Amino acid sequence: MASSAAITHDVLATANRIGATQRVPPFKVMTVRCGSRRNDVDLRGSELVIVPGLGTASADELEAKLKSPMCRRAIDMLTRAHATGAMLAASCASTFLLAETGLLDGRRATTTWWFAPLFRQRYPEIELLTEQMVVAEWPIATGGAAMAQMDLMLAVVGRFAGPSLAKACANYLLLDERRSQAPFMAITYLASQDPKIAKAEKWARDNIARDFAIEELANAVALAPRTFARRVSATCGVSPIQFVQRIRLETARFLLETTRLSVDEIARQIGYAEPSTLRRLIRRDTKHPPGHFRPAA
């Protein structure tokens, strides 16, 4: 993914430029291509190997790519680099390359939110934290979708050159701190990967204006509550309550952005008797009050 590679170089170059005013530039950067048939690439002595995003559009394409000679060489390179002491970092679909090495087994990681169901299916030994933008548990760090490479690189700068330089880079590049992918995750897309959960999502939207129990939702799609909970978790990475909350919050944001309805009226339309509940959930998930999503006058 061209933007991911460029972000990697730009953030490290910025860190070097700012850091050079006080000391020796903290990063020496080398670019390695693994598309070549050559097998003499030697990463020994590297402190960190960063893998930009693969830029893969679909789960089928990603699974095919992981079997390709290019990706198998990359996986071998990462395994050897880690064995000689290198730390590893990757974002978006490239987190699958790290998972393929087996080095993430028993560890926590994140990945691009739309590939989360595939990641859970392929790597059950990894604790996937889909909502997190970055999981930096060194010696391995992972980032979420596409532009999370920016967040991952700030974590790299913080780890290797200190948090003050990471903050300076963020200010220089106008990068806001983003801890969660949750506000960007489209629950409809995730639910569509399981027919029963897709049906549950539609039923929840059709009944959004009233309060209903999770048992009623599970019954509407002919699943036992425990089975429903397992399938929601496997497909969307959330609990049934969070599944319904996400649908309600998506609808609330749409109404805030496209209508002049009051927050109280929107809360009633999406099934919350107390508007304070909607305000609290919006602040929790987005770090902004509801008024932030109103269009400019």
Model pLDDT, residue 39: 55
Query: Which amino acid appears at position 281 of this protein?
Result: L
The CA-atom distances, in angstroms, between 208 and each of 26, 91, 132, 152 are 53, 35, 27, 37
Greatest extent of the chain over all pairs of C-alpha atoms, in Å: 65
- The pTM of this model reads 0.77
Model pLDDT, residue 72: 92
C-alpha–C-alpha distance, residues 95 and 97, integer Å: 5
C-alpha–C-alpha distance, residues 208 and 7, integer Å: 41
What one-character DSSP code corresponds to residue 109? E
In terms of Cα–Cα distance, which of 287, 283, 267 is closest to 275? 267
Q: Express each pLDDT in 242-295 by its tens digit.
A: 999 999 999 998 899 899 999 999 999 999 999 999 999 999 888 889 998 887
Strand partners, 140: 88, 137
Strand partners, 50: 89
- Taking phi over 0 as left and psi of -120 to 50 as alpha, with beta for the rest, 222 belongs to left
Total Cβ atoms within 10 A of residue 58 = 11
C-alpha–C-alpha distance, residues 269 and 210, integer Å: 8
The CA-atom distances, in angstroms, between 104 and each of 54, 78, 97, 131, 142 are 18, 12, 10, 18, 10
Model pLDDT, residue 47: 95
Model pLDDT, residue 234: 87
Low-confidence spans in the chain with pLDDT less than 50:
none
Q: Express each pLDDT in 121-144 by its tens digit.
A: 999 999 999 889 999 999 999 999
Q: What six digits make up the tokens of 42?
A: 């030697």
3-class SS of residue 88: strand
Q: For residue 11, how far is the Cα from the chain centroid?
A: 19
Element (H, E) at 197: helix 195-206
